[in-house]
A and B are shown apart, each in its own frame.
Chain A
Amino acid sequence: MNSKVQNKIAIGVLYGIAGLVVLILLALVGYILVSGLPKVSWHFLTTPAKAFLKGGGIGVQLFNSFYLLILAMLISFPIALGAAIYLYEYAKDNWVTNLVRTAIEILSSLPSVVVGLFGFLFFVVKLRLGFSILSGAFALTFFNLPLLTRSVEDSLHTIDDKQREGGLALGLSRWETVTRVILPAAVPSILTGVILSAGRVFGEAAALIYTAGQSAPALNFMDWNPFNISSPLNPMRPAETLAVHIWKINSEGIMPDAKAISSGSSAVLVIAILLFNLAARYLGKRLYKRLTSA
Protein backbone atom coordinates (compact mmCIF):
# COMPACT_ATOMS: atom_id res chain seq x y z
CA MET A 1 0.00 0.00 0.00
CA ASN A 2 2.69 2.38 1.12
CA SER A 3 4.91 1.72 -1.84
CA LYS A 4 1.96 2.01 -4.16
CA VAL A 5 1.15 5.46 -2.87
CA GLN A 6 4.81 6.36 -3.18
CA ASN A 7 4.75 5.13 -6.75
CA LYS A 8 1.75 7.26 -7.58
CA ILE A 9 3.28 10.36 -6.03
CA ALA A 10 6.63 9.86 -7.78
CA ILE A 11 5.06 9.33 -11.16
CA GLY A 12 2.85 12.36 -10.62
CA VAL A 13 5.95 14.43 -9.83
CA LEU A 14 7.67 13.16 -12.97
CA TYR A 15 4.64 14.13 -15.03
CA GLY A 16 4.84 17.56 -13.43
CA ILE A 17 8.53 17.96 -14.21
CA ALA A 18 8.11 16.89 -17.82
CA GLY A 19 5.12 19.18 -18.19
CA LEU A 20 7.04 22.09 -16.74
CA VAL A 21 9.97 21.51 -19.08
CA VAL A 22 7.68 21.38 -22.09
CA LEU A 23 6.06 24.57 -20.85
CA ILE A 24 9.41 26.35 -20.47
CA LEU A 25 10.53 25.26 -23.92
CA LEU A 26 7.25 26.16 -25.57
CA ALA A 27 7.26 29.55 -23.87
CA LEU A 28 10.81 30.09 -25.09
CA VAL A 29 10.15 29.29 -28.73
CA GLY A 30 6.77 30.99 -28.56
CA TYR A 31 8.29 34.17 -27.17
CA ILE A 32 10.96 34.27 -29.88
CA LEU A 33 8.44 33.78 -32.66
CA VAL A 34 5.65 35.97 -31.29
CA SER A 35 7.90 38.91 -30.49
CA GLY A 36 10.07 38.48 -33.57
CA LEU A 37 7.89 37.41 -36.47
CA PRO A 38 5.87 40.66 -36.77
CA LYS A 39 9.16 42.48 -37.38
CA VAL A 40 10.27 40.18 -40.16
CA SER A 41 9.44 41.51 -43.59
CA TRP A 42 11.06 41.42 -46.99
CA HIS A 43 12.33 44.94 -46.35
CA PHE A 44 13.86 43.85 -43.01
CA LEU A 45 15.58 40.85 -44.58
CA THR A 46 17.13 42.75 -47.46
CA THR A 47 18.08 46.26 -46.37
CA PRO A 48 21.44 47.00 -44.76
CA ALA A 49 21.62 47.85 -41.06
CA LYS A 50 21.63 51.44 -39.84
CA ALA A 51 23.87 52.47 -36.97
CA PHE A 52 22.03 55.45 -35.52
CA LEU A 53 18.60 55.57 -37.13
CA LYS A 54 15.68 53.21 -36.86
CA GLY A 55 14.37 51.13 -39.69
CA GLY A 56 17.57 49.29 -40.52
CA GLY A 57 17.49 45.72 -41.78
CA ILE A 58 19.74 42.69 -41.62
CA GLY A 59 20.41 42.11 -45.32
CA VAL A 60 24.19 42.26 -45.17
CA GLN A 61 24.38 40.27 -41.94
CA LEU A 62 22.17 37.54 -43.35
CA PHE A 63 24.30 37.26 -46.45
CA ASN A 64 27.48 37.23 -44.35
CA SER A 65 26.14 34.43 -42.16
CA PHE A 66 25.44 32.19 -45.13
CA TYR A 67 28.65 33.03 -46.95
CA LEU A 68 30.71 32.37 -43.85
CA LEU A 69 28.88 29.13 -43.22
CA ILE A 70 29.51 27.90 -46.77
CA LEU A 71 33.20 28.83 -46.65
CA ALA A 72 33.66 27.18 -43.26
CA MET A 73 31.94 24.03 -44.50
CA LEU A 74 34.09 23.94 -47.64
CA ILE A 75 37.21 24.08 -45.50
CA SER A 76 36.16 21.77 -42.71
CA PHE A 77 34.24 19.05 -44.51
CA PRO A 78 37.16 17.51 -46.46
CA ILE A 79 39.34 17.52 -43.35
CA ALA A 80 36.63 15.96 -41.21
CA LEU A 81 35.86 13.39 -43.90
CA GLY A 82 39.52 12.37 -44.18
CA ALA A 83 39.97 12.20 -40.44
CA ALA A 84 36.81 10.17 -39.95
CA ILE A 85 37.74 7.74 -42.70
CA TYR A 86 41.14 7.17 -41.19
CA LEU A 87 39.78 6.83 -37.67
CA TYR A 88 37.04 4.40 -38.62
CA GLU A 89 38.53 2.40 -41.48
CA TYR A 90 42.25 2.34 -40.88
CA ALA A 91 43.19 3.24 -37.32
CA LYS A 92 44.27 0.45 -35.02
CA ASP A 93 43.33 0.53 -31.39
CA ASN A 94 46.63 1.81 -30.03
CA TRP A 95 47.93 4.82 -28.11
CA VAL A 96 48.19 7.03 -31.19
CA THR A 97 44.51 6.56 -31.97
CA ASN A 98 43.72 7.11 -28.32
CA LEU A 99 45.67 10.36 -28.34
CA VAL A 100 43.89 11.55 -31.46
CA ARG A 101 40.49 10.77 -29.98
CA THR A 102 41.43 12.65 -26.83
CA ALA A 103 42.51 15.62 -28.95
CA ILE A 104 39.20 15.64 -30.80
CA GLU A 105 37.30 15.45 -27.53
CA ILE A 106 39.31 18.36 -26.13
CA LEU A 107 38.66 20.41 -29.25
CA SER A 108 34.94 19.78 -28.98
CA SER A 109 34.85 20.82 -25.33
CA LEU A 110 36.88 24.02 -25.67
CA PRO A 111 34.79 27.10 -24.93
CA SER A 112 34.05 28.83 -28.21
CA VAL A 113 35.43 32.10 -26.85
CA VAL A 114 38.83 30.42 -26.43
CA VAL A 115 38.66 29.16 -30.02
CA GLY A 116 37.77 32.68 -31.12
CA LEU A 117 40.63 34.23 -29.18
CA PHE A 118 43.05 31.76 -30.71
CA GLY A 119 41.69 32.65 -34.14
CA PHE A 120 42.23 36.30 -33.34
CA LEU A 121 45.80 35.68 -32.23
CA PHE A 122 46.74 33.38 -35.07
CA PHE A 123 44.79 34.39 -38.17
CA VAL A 124 44.01 38.03 -37.52
CA VAL A 125 47.31 39.08 -35.93
CA LYS A 126 49.99 36.50 -36.81
CA LEU A 127 48.95 35.71 -40.38
CA ARG A 128 47.72 39.29 -40.90
CA LEU A 129 44.41 38.28 -42.38
CA GLY A 130 42.77 41.03 -40.38
CA PHE A 131 39.13 40.92 -39.31
CA SER A 132 37.90 39.05 -42.34
CA ILE A 133 35.55 36.37 -43.55
CA LEU A 134 38.53 34.12 -44.06
CA SER A 135 39.68 34.44 -40.42
CA GLY A 136 36.12 33.79 -39.33
CA ALA A 137 35.81 30.76 -41.56
CA PHE A 138 39.00 29.27 -40.12
CA ALA A 139 37.79 29.88 -36.57
CA LEU A 140 34.47 28.24 -37.40
CA THR A 141 36.39 25.34 -38.93
CA PHE A 142 38.04 24.66 -35.59
CA PHE A 143 34.71 24.84 -33.89
CA ASN A 144 33.18 22.59 -36.52
CA LEU A 145 35.83 19.89 -36.98
CA PRO A 146 35.10 17.73 -33.94
CA LEU A 147 31.34 17.84 -34.54
CA LEU A 148 31.69 16.92 -38.19
CA THR A 149 34.32 14.24 -37.64
CA ARG A 150 32.16 12.53 -35.07
CA SER A 151 29.06 12.67 -37.24
CA VAL A 152 30.86 11.30 -40.32
CA GLU A 153 32.33 8.55 -38.17
CA ASP A 154 28.86 7.70 -36.90
CA SER A 155 27.64 7.58 -40.49
CA LEU A 156 30.42 5.15 -41.43
CA HIS A 157 29.48 3.10 -38.40
CA THR A 158 25.94 2.62 -39.69
CA ILE A 159 27.19 0.88 -42.87
CA ASP A 160 27.14 -2.87 -42.50
CA ASP A 161 30.54 -4.57 -42.35
CA LYS A 162 29.30 -6.98 -45.01
CA GLN A 163 29.64 -4.18 -47.54
CA ARG A 164 33.31 -3.80 -46.61
CA GLU A 165 33.88 -7.52 -46.80
CA GLY A 166 32.13 -7.58 -50.16
CA GLY A 167 34.35 -4.84 -51.54
CA LEU A 168 37.51 -6.49 -50.31
CA ALA A 169 36.39 -9.90 -51.57
CA LEU A 170 35.96 -8.42 -55.03
CA GLY A 171 39.63 -7.49 -54.95
CA LEU A 172 39.20 -3.78 -54.29
CA SER A 173 41.77 -2.10 -52.10
CA ARG A 174 40.66 -0.70 -48.79
CA TRP A 175 40.64 2.86 -50.15
CA GLU A 176 38.63 1.83 -53.18
CA THR A 177 36.15 0.02 -50.95
CA VAL A 178 35.74 3.14 -48.86
CA THR A 179 35.37 5.58 -51.73
CA ARG A 180 33.31 3.41 -54.12
CA VAL A 181 31.19 1.32 -51.78
CA ILE A 182 31.04 2.71 -48.26
CA LEU A 183 30.88 6.46 -48.89
CA PRO A 184 28.07 6.32 -51.47
CA ALA A 185 26.05 4.20 -49.07
CA ALA A 186 26.77 6.63 -46.24
CA VAL A 187 25.86 9.79 -48.19
CA PRO A 188 22.36 10.22 -46.71
CA SER A 189 23.48 10.06 -43.10
CA ILE A 190 26.64 12.10 -43.75
CA LEU A 191 24.50 14.79 -45.35
CA THR A 192 22.13 14.77 -42.39
CA GLY A 193 25.07 15.26 -40.04
CA VAL A 194 26.52 18.06 -42.15
CA ILE A 195 23.26 19.98 -42.22
CA LEU A 196 22.77 19.57 -38.49
CA SER A 197 26.24 20.90 -37.72
CA ALA A 198 25.64 23.70 -40.22
CA GLY A 199 22.68 24.67 -38.05
CA ARG A 200 24.89 24.79 -34.98
CA VAL A 201 27.60 26.82 -36.70
CA PHE A 202 25.06 29.21 -38.19
CA GLY A 203 24.23 30.68 -34.79
CA GLU A 204 27.78 30.77 -33.45
CA ALA A 205 28.90 34.20 -32.36
CA ALA A 206 31.57 34.00 -29.66
CA ALA A 207 34.17 32.52 -32.00
CA LEU A 208 33.43 35.20 -34.61
CA ILE A 209 33.47 38.44 -32.64
CA TYR A 210 37.23 38.75 -32.82
CA THR A 211 37.83 36.92 -36.09
CA ALA A 212 35.21 37.92 -38.65
CA GLY A 213 34.82 41.24 -36.90
CA GLN A 214 31.92 43.31 -35.65
CA SER A 215 31.39 45.59 -38.59
CA ALA A 216 29.49 45.09 -41.80
CA PRO A 217 30.68 47.51 -44.48
CA ALA A 218 28.20 48.33 -47.19
CA LEU A 219 28.23 45.87 -50.04
CA ASN A 220 27.59 46.38 -53.68
CA PHE A 221 25.49 43.40 -54.72
CA MET A 222 26.06 44.13 -58.40
CA ASP A 223 29.80 43.51 -58.06
CA TRP A 224 30.64 39.81 -57.98
CA ASN A 225 34.39 40.11 -58.51
CA PRO A 226 35.86 38.58 -55.34
CA PHE A 227 38.88 40.90 -55.45
CA ASN A 228 36.95 44.16 -55.18
CA ILE A 229 36.61 45.50 -51.68
CA SER A 230 32.88 46.15 -51.85
CA SER A 231 32.08 42.83 -53.49
CA PRO A 232 29.99 40.48 -51.35
CA LEU A 233 32.26 37.60 -52.35
CA ASN A 234 35.49 39.23 -51.19
CA PRO A 235 36.77 36.94 -48.43
CA MET A 236 39.09 39.59 -47.01
CA ARG A 237 36.41 42.04 -45.88
CA PRO A 238 35.20 42.21 -42.28
CA ALA A 239 31.84 40.57 -41.89
CA GLU A 240 29.42 40.82 -39.02
CA THR A 241 27.06 37.85 -38.95
CA LEU A 242 23.49 37.79 -37.77
CA ALA A 243 24.34 36.25 -34.39
CA VAL A 244 27.13 38.77 -33.79
CA HIS A 245 24.74 41.54 -34.79
CA ILE A 246 22.24 40.49 -32.12
CA TRP A 247 24.99 40.42 -29.50
CA LYS A 248 26.40 43.75 -30.56
CA ILE A 249 23.24 45.78 -30.65
CA ASN A 250 22.25 44.40 -27.27
CA SER A 251 25.60 45.20 -25.69
CA GLU A 252 26.37 48.54 -27.26
CA GLY A 253 23.68 49.29 -29.80
CA ILE A 254 22.51 52.87 -30.06
CA MET A 255 19.83 52.62 -32.70
CA PRO A 256 16.39 53.42 -31.27
CA ASP A 257 14.81 50.18 -32.46
CA ALA A 258 17.58 47.85 -31.22
CA LYS A 259 15.12 45.65 -29.39
CA ALA A 260 12.86 45.22 -32.40
CA ILE A 261 15.83 44.40 -34.61
CA SER A 262 17.16 41.82 -32.18
CA SER A 263 13.82 40.12 -31.75
CA GLY A 264 13.37 40.01 -35.52
CA SER A 265 16.88 38.66 -35.99
CA SER A 266 16.38 36.07 -33.24
CA ALA A 267 13.24 34.84 -34.96
CA VAL A 268 15.12 34.59 -38.26
CA LEU A 269 17.94 32.65 -36.60
CA VAL A 270 15.60 30.22 -34.88
CA ILE A 271 13.56 29.69 -38.04
CA ALA A 272 16.76 29.10 -40.01
CA ILE A 273 17.86 26.48 -37.50
CA LEU A 274 14.41 24.89 -37.58
CA LEU A 275 14.68 24.73 -41.37
CA PHE A 276 18.14 23.19 -41.14
CA ASN A 277 16.72 20.53 -38.81
CA LEU A 278 13.76 19.78 -41.06
CA ALA A 279 15.93 19.78 -44.19
CA ALA A 280 18.33 17.32 -42.59
CA ARG A 281 15.50 14.90 -41.77
CA TYR A 282 13.76 15.28 -45.10
CA LEU A 283 16.84 15.09 -47.32
CA GLY A 284 18.25 12.19 -45.35
CA LYS A 285 15.06 10.18 -45.83
CA ARG A 286 14.69 11.15 -49.51
CA LEU A 287 18.28 10.32 -50.39
CA TYR A 288 18.18 7.09 -48.45
CA LYS A 289 15.19 5.93 -50.50
CA ARG A 290 16.83 7.00 -53.72
CA LEU A 291 20.27 5.54 -53.17
CA THR A 292 19.26 2.23 -51.68
CA SER A 293 16.75 -0.32 -52.80
CA ALA A 294 14.86 0.04 -49.53
Chain B
Amino acid sequence: MTKSPEQLEQELKRRSKAAKLEIWGRVVSFSALILIVAVVVAIIGFVASKGIATFTTNHVNLWDFLSGKNWNPSLTDAHGKPEVGALSMIVGSFLITILSAIVATPFAIGTAVFMNEISPNRGAKILQPVTELLVGIPSVVYGFIGLSVVVPFTRSVFGGSGFGILSGTCVLFVMILPTVTSMSADALRAVPRYYREASLALGATQWQTIYKVVLRAATPGLMTAVVFGMARAFGEALAVQMVIGNAALMPHSLVDPAATLTSVLTTGIGNTVMGSLQNNALWSLALVLLLMSLVFNLIIRLIGRKGRLQ
Protein backbone atom coordinates (compact mmCIF):
# COMPACT_ATOMS: atom_id res chain seq x y z
CA MET B 1 0.00 0.00 0.00
CA THR B 2 1.46 3.31 -0.96
CA LYS B 3 0.98 6.32 1.23
CA SER B 4 -0.60 9.47 -0.02
CA PRO B 5 1.59 12.58 0.05
CA GLU B 6 -0.55 14.00 2.88
CA GLN B 7 0.01 10.91 5.00
CA LEU B 8 3.72 11.02 4.33
CA GLU B 9 3.90 14.67 5.22
CA GLN B 10 2.06 14.03 8.46
CA GLU B 11 4.36 11.19 9.35
CA LEU B 12 7.44 13.24 8.71
CA LYS B 13 6.21 16.21 10.67
CA ARG B 14 5.19 14.11 13.64
CA ARG B 15 7.41 14.28 16.70
CA SER B 16 9.81 11.38 16.96
CA LYS B 17 9.64 9.05 19.92
CA ALA B 18 12.81 10.53 21.36
CA ALA B 19 11.43 14.05 21.09
CA LYS B 20 8.25 13.01 22.90
CA LEU B 21 10.32 11.37 25.61
CA GLU B 22 12.38 14.53 25.89
CA ILE B 23 9.29 16.67 26.45
CA TRP B 24 7.90 14.15 28.90
CA GLY B 25 11.14 14.13 30.86
CA ARG B 26 11.30 17.91 30.97
CA VAL B 27 7.71 18.14 32.19
CA VAL B 28 8.15 15.49 34.86
CA SER B 29 11.37 16.87 36.26
CA PHE B 30 10.06 20.42 36.13
CA SER B 31 6.91 19.46 38.03
CA ALA B 32 9.07 17.96 40.78
CA LEU B 33 10.73 21.35 41.06
CA ILE B 34 7.41 23.15 41.12
CA LEU B 35 6.23 20.81 43.85
CA ILE B 36 9.12 21.83 46.08
CA VAL B 37 8.40 25.52 45.53
CA ALA B 38 4.71 24.88 46.21
CA VAL B 39 5.63 23.17 49.48
CA VAL B 40 7.64 26.18 50.63
CA VAL B 41 4.89 28.60 49.65
CA ALA B 42 2.29 26.41 51.37
CA ILE B 43 4.27 26.20 54.61
CA ILE B 44 4.84 29.93 54.77
CA GLY B 45 1.25 30.66 53.76
CA PHE B 46 -0.36 28.29 56.23
CA VAL B 47 1.79 29.25 59.18
CA ALA B 48 1.37 32.94 58.41
CA SER B 49 -2.40 32.70 58.09
CA LYS B 50 -2.68 30.81 61.37
CA GLY B 51 -0.14 33.05 63.04
CA ILE B 52 -1.86 36.35 62.30
CA ALA B 53 -5.24 35.04 63.53
CA THR B 54 -4.23 36.12 67.03
CA PHE B 55 -4.12 39.69 65.80
CA THR B 56 -6.99 39.64 63.32
CA THR B 57 -9.66 37.48 64.97
CA ASN B 58 -8.64 37.73 68.61
CA HIS B 59 -7.64 41.42 68.28
CA VAL B 60 -4.47 41.15 70.28
CA ASN B 61 -2.24 44.16 69.87
CA LEU B 62 0.93 43.20 67.98
CA TRP B 63 3.05 45.36 70.26
CA ASP B 64 1.52 43.79 73.37
CA PHE B 65 2.36 40.38 71.93
CA LEU B 66 5.98 41.25 71.22
CA SER B 67 6.67 43.24 74.38
CA GLY B 68 4.39 41.64 76.97
CA LYS B 69 6.13 39.68 79.69
CA ASN B 70 3.22 37.53 80.87
CA TRP B 71 2.45 34.38 78.95
CA ASN B 72 -0.76 32.79 80.10
CA PRO B 73 -3.10 32.66 77.12
CA SER B 74 -5.99 31.13 79.04
CA LEU B 75 -6.18 34.04 81.52
CA THR B 76 -6.96 37.69 81.05
CA ASP B 77 -5.20 40.55 82.80
CA ALA B 78 -6.67 43.47 84.80
CA HIS B 79 -7.85 45.22 81.63
CA GLY B 80 -9.63 42.14 80.34
CA LYS B 81 -6.98 41.51 77.72
CA PRO B 82 -5.56 38.01 77.25
CA GLU B 83 -2.06 37.52 78.63
CA VAL B 84 -0.13 36.70 75.49
CA GLY B 85 3.19 38.45 75.97
CA ALA B 86 5.85 36.52 74.12
CA LEU B 87 8.83 38.62 75.15
CA SER B 88 10.19 36.14 77.68
CA MET B 89 10.30 33.37 75.08
CA ILE B 90 11.77 35.63 72.40
CA VAL B 91 14.46 36.76 74.85
CA GLY B 92 15.05 33.13 75.88
CA SER B 93 15.50 32.02 72.28
CA PHE B 94 17.89 34.83 71.41
CA LEU B 95 19.88 34.52 74.61
CA ILE B 96 20.45 30.81 74.19
CA THR B 97 21.30 31.20 70.50
CA ILE B 98 23.78 34.01 70.98
CA LEU B 99 25.43 32.45 74.01
CA SER B 100 25.90 29.09 72.36
CA ALA B 101 27.29 30.76 69.22
CA ILE B 102 29.74 32.79 71.33
CA VAL B 103 30.99 29.65 73.06
CA ALA B 104 31.06 27.46 69.96
CA THR B 105 32.73 29.84 67.50
CA PRO B 106 36.29 29.86 68.89
CA PHE B 107 36.25 26.09 69.34
CA ALA B 108 34.84 25.46 65.88
CA ILE B 109 37.15 27.83 64.04
CA GLY B 110 40.14 26.70 66.09
CA THR B 111 39.44 23.08 65.23
CA ALA B 112 38.91 23.91 61.58
CA VAL B 113 42.25 25.79 61.49
CA PHE B 114 43.93 22.86 63.18
CA MET B 115 42.46 20.43 60.65
CA ASN B 116 43.41 22.52 57.66
CA GLU B 117 46.57 24.41 58.48
CA ILE B 118 48.44 22.75 61.32
CA SER B 119 47.87 19.06 60.97
CA PRO B 120 46.21 18.46 57.61
CA ASN B 121 47.19 14.82 57.55
CA ARG B 122 46.90 13.18 60.91
CA GLY B 123 44.61 15.69 62.61
CA ALA B 124 42.18 15.89 59.73
CA LYS B 125 42.04 12.14 59.40
CA ILE B 126 40.70 11.85 62.95
CA LEU B 127 38.63 15.01 63.12
CA GLN B 128 36.92 14.84 59.73
CA PRO B 129 34.98 11.58 60.24
CA VAL B 130 34.27 12.44 63.88
CA THR B 131 32.63 15.76 62.98
CA GLU B 132 30.72 14.10 60.14
CA LEU B 133 29.36 11.49 62.52
CA LEU B 134 28.43 14.07 65.13
CA VAL B 135 26.49 16.19 62.63
CA GLY B 136 24.19 13.21 62.31
CA ILE B 137 23.52 12.52 65.99
CA PRO B 138 19.81 13.13 66.63
CA SER B 139 18.84 16.08 68.77
CA VAL B 140 16.89 13.94 71.23
CA VAL B 141 20.11 12.14 72.06
CA TYR B 142 21.75 15.48 72.85
CA GLY B 143 18.70 16.34 74.91
CA PHE B 144 18.88 13.09 76.82
CA ILE B 145 22.57 13.56 77.61
CA GLY B 146 21.83 17.12 78.64
CA LEU B 147 19.17 15.82 80.98
CA SER B 148 21.31 13.12 82.53
CA VAL B 149 24.71 14.88 82.61
CA VAL B 150 24.50 18.64 82.14
CA VAL B 151 21.43 19.35 84.29
CA PRO B 152 22.72 17.48 87.39
CA PHE B 153 26.12 19.12 86.87
CA THR B 154 24.78 22.71 86.79
CA ARG B 155 22.51 21.85 89.70
CA SER B 156 25.42 20.78 91.85
CA VAL B 157 27.72 23.62 90.79
CA PHE B 158 25.42 26.63 90.45
CA GLY B 159 22.46 25.54 92.55
CA GLY B 160 18.85 25.86 91.53
CA SER B 161 17.06 23.12 89.68
CA GLY B 162 19.72 22.77 87.02
CA PHE B 163 17.17 23.48 84.30
CA GLY B 164 17.76 26.78 82.57
CA ILE B 165 19.51 28.79 79.92
CA LEU B 166 22.96 27.67 81.06
CA SER B 167 22.14 23.99 80.55
CA GLY B 168 20.48 24.82 77.23
CA THR B 169 23.58 26.71 76.12
CA CYS B 170 25.85 23.78 77.01
CA VAL B 171 23.71 21.36 75.02
CA LEU B 172 23.39 23.65 72.02
CA PHE B 173 27.11 24.42 72.07
CA VAL B 174 27.93 20.75 71.58
CA MET B 175 25.13 20.39 69.04
CA ILE B 176 26.21 23.18 66.72
CA LEU B 177 29.95 22.60 67.20
CA PRO B 178 30.30 19.90 64.51
CA THR B 179 28.15 21.81 62.02
CA VAL B 180 30.09 25.06 62.42
CA THR B 181 33.40 23.19 62.41
CA SER B 182 32.79 21.35 59.17
CA MET B 183 31.48 24.48 57.42
CA SER B 184 34.46 26.51 58.67
CA ALA B 185 36.80 23.81 57.42
CA ASP B 186 35.16 24.07 54.00
CA ALA B 187 35.65 27.84 54.05
CA LEU B 188 39.35 27.49 54.92
CA ARG B 189 39.83 24.83 52.27
CA ALA B 190 38.53 27.27 49.67
CA VAL B 191 41.38 29.71 50.36
CA PRO B 192 43.88 29.28 47.51
CA ARG B 193 47.19 27.65 48.37
CA TYR B 194 49.30 30.44 46.91
CA TYR B 195 47.97 32.91 49.51
CA ARG B 196 49.72 30.89 52.17
CA GLU B 197 52.84 30.34 50.08
CA ALA B 198 53.13 34.04 49.32
CA SER B 199 52.75 34.95 52.98
CA LEU B 200 55.27 32.37 54.16
CA ALA B 201 57.69 33.40 51.43
CA LEU B 202 57.55 36.97 52.75
CA GLY B 203 58.86 35.64 56.03
CA ALA B 204 55.63 35.54 58.01
CA THR B 205 55.35 32.87 60.69
CA GLN B 206 52.73 30.19 60.41
CA TRP B 207 50.48 31.93 62.91
CA GLN B 208 50.84 35.29 61.15
CA THR B 209 49.88 33.57 57.91
CA ILE B 210 46.86 31.93 59.50
CA TYR B 211 45.70 35.01 61.36
CA LYS B 212 46.45 37.76 58.87
CA VAL B 213 45.92 35.95 55.56
CA VAL B 214 43.95 32.71 55.75
CA LEU B 215 41.36 33.77 58.32
CA ARG B 216 40.91 37.17 56.64
CA ALA B 217 40.40 35.57 53.24
CA ALA B 218 37.93 33.05 54.64
CA THR B 219 35.96 35.57 56.74
CA PRO B 220 32.71 35.48 54.68
CA GLY B 221 32.69 31.69 54.75
CA LEU B 222 33.40 31.60 58.48
CA MET B 223 30.62 34.11 59.16
CA THR B 224 28.22 32.03 57.10
CA ALA B 225 29.18 29.00 59.18
CA VAL B 226 28.49 30.84 62.44
CA VAL B 227 25.15 32.27 61.26
CA PHE B 228 24.20 28.82 60.03
CA GLY B 229 24.96 27.41 63.45
CA MET B 230 22.90 30.17 65.06
CA ALA B 231 19.96 29.40 62.77
CA ARG B 232 20.19 25.79 63.81
CA ALA B 233 20.36 26.71 67.48
CA PHE B 234 17.41 29.09 67.18
CA GLY B 235 15.18 26.49 65.58
CA GLU B 236 16.26 23.55 67.70
CA ALA B 237 13.29 22.29 69.64
CA LEU B 238 13.54 19.03 71.50
CA ALA B 239 17.03 19.09 72.97
CA VAL B 240 16.41 22.58 74.35
CA GLN B 241 12.94 21.75 75.55
CA MET B 242 14.29 18.85 77.58
CA VAL B 243 16.81 20.91 79.58
CA ILE B 244 15.52 24.47 79.77
CA GLY B 245 12.77 23.94 82.33
CA ASN B 246 9.90 25.32 80.24
CA ALA B 247 8.81 28.14 82.50
CA ALA B 248 7.58 31.03 80.38
CA LEU B 249 9.08 33.66 82.66
CA MET B 250 11.44 36.52 81.96
CA PRO B 251 14.91 35.03 82.45
CA HIS B 252 16.58 36.66 85.47
CA SER B 253 19.62 34.47 85.71
CA LEU B 254 21.19 31.77 83.61
CA VAL B 255 20.25 29.01 86.02
CA ASP B 256 16.56 29.81 86.46
CA PRO B 257 14.07 27.79 84.42
CA ALA B 258 13.20 29.61 81.21
CA ALA B 259 11.54 28.92 77.89
CA THR B 260 12.19 29.39 74.21
CA LEU B 261 9.77 29.77 71.31
CA THR B 262 10.38 26.19 70.26
CA SER B 263 10.05 24.69 73.72
CA VAL B 264 6.70 26.38 74.37
CA LEU B 265 5.50 25.26 70.95
CA THR B 266 6.41 21.61 71.36
CA THR B 267 4.93 21.32 74.81
CA GLY B 268 1.88 23.49 74.21
CA ILE B 269 0.34 22.87 70.83
CA GLY B 270 -1.06 19.46 71.64
CA ASN B 271 -2.94 20.70 74.70
CA THR B 272 -4.98 23.45 73.05
CA VAL B 273 -8.11 23.41 70.94
CA MET B 274 -7.79 24.37 67.28
CA GLY B 275 -9.00 27.90 66.61
CA SER B 276 -9.00 29.00 70.23
CA LEU B 277 -6.99 31.99 71.37
CA GLN B 278 -4.53 29.74 73.20
CA ASN B 279 -3.92 27.82 70.01
CA ASN B 280 -3.69 30.91 67.80
CA ALA B 281 -1.17 32.47 70.16
CA LEU B 282 1.03 29.41 69.80
CA TRP B 283 0.81 29.65 66.02
CA SER B 284 1.92 33.27 66.33
CA LEU B 285 5.03 31.97 68.08
CA ALA B 286 5.54 29.58 65.17
CA LEU B 287 5.25 32.55 62.83
CA VAL B 288 7.93 34.44 64.77
CA LEU B 289 10.13 31.36 64.50
CA LEU B 290 9.53 31.13 60.76
CA LEU B 291 10.27 34.82 60.22
CA MET B 292 13.49 34.52 62.21
CA SER B 293 14.64 31.59 60.11
CA LEU B 294 13.95 33.70 57.00
CA VAL B 295 16.03 36.50 58.53
CA PHE B 296 18.94 34.12 59.18
CA ASN B 297 18.62 32.96 55.59
CA LEU B 298 18.76 36.55 54.36
CA ILE B 299 21.85 37.28 56.46
CA ILE B 300 23.62 34.25 55.00
CA ARG B 301 22.78 35.44 51.49
CA LEU B 302 23.98 38.98 52.21
CA ILE B 303 27.29 37.67 53.59
CA GLY B 304 27.67 35.47 50.52
CA ARG B 305 27.06 38.40 48.17
CA LYS B 306 29.46 40.69 49.99
CA GLY B 307 32.09 37.98 50.07
CA ARG B 308 31.82 37.51 46.32
CA LEU B 309 32.43 41.15 45.50
CA GLN B 310 35.81 41.31 47.22
A binding-site residues for B, Cβ under 8 Å: 3-4, 6-7, 10-11, 13-15, 17-18, 20-22, 24-26, 28-29, 31-32, 35, 78-83, 85-87, 89-90, 99-100, 103-107, 109-115, 117-118, 120-122, 125, 142, 145-146, 149, 172-176, 178-179, 196, 199-200, 202-206, 209-210, 243-244, 246-247, 250-251, 259, 262-263, 266, 269-270, 273-274, 276-277
Contacts and interface: CB of A to CB of B under 8 A. Distances in A.
A112 to B, nearest CB: 7
Interface in B185-208: 205-208
Contacts of A250: 140, 143-144, 147, 242
B236 A111 contact: yes
Contacts of B33: 82-83, 86-87, 100
Interface of B: 18-19, 21-22, 24-26, 28-33, 35-37, 39-44, 46-47, 50, 106-107, 110-111, 113-115, 118-119, 123, 126-127, 130-134, 136-141, 143-145, 147-149, 174, 177-178, 181, 205-208, 210-211, 231, 234-238, 241-242, 262, 265-267, 269-270, 274, 283, 286, 289-290, 293-294, 296-297
Contact of A251 (B127, B134, B241): B241
Given A173-B22, A176-B21, A7 B238 contact: no
Nearest to A146: B36
Given A109-B296, A145-B39, A172-B18, A114 B235 contact: yes
A166 to B, nearest CB: 16
Given A118-B43, A274-B133, A18 B269 contact: no
Given A114-B235, A176-B18, A263-B148, A14 B118 contact: yes
Given A106-B297, A277-B136, A22 B141 contact: no
B266 A15 contact: no
A247 B106 contact: no
A209 B241 CA distance: 13
Given A100-B36, A117-B265, A109 B144 contact: no
Given A110-B290, A111-B289, A247-B242, A203 B237 contact: no
B139 A114 contact: no
Contacts of B238: 205-206, 247
A78 B293 CA distance: 27
Contacts, number: 253
23 contacts: A3-B205, A3-B207, A7-B208, A11-B118, A13-B110, A17-B110, A18-B111, A18-B115, A18-B127, A24-B177, A29-B134, A82-B30, A86-B33, A104-B36, A107-B39, A107-B43, A118-B43, A125-B274, A145-B39, A206-B262, A251-B242, A269-B140, A276-B136
A103 B22 CA distance: 26
Contacts of A4: 205
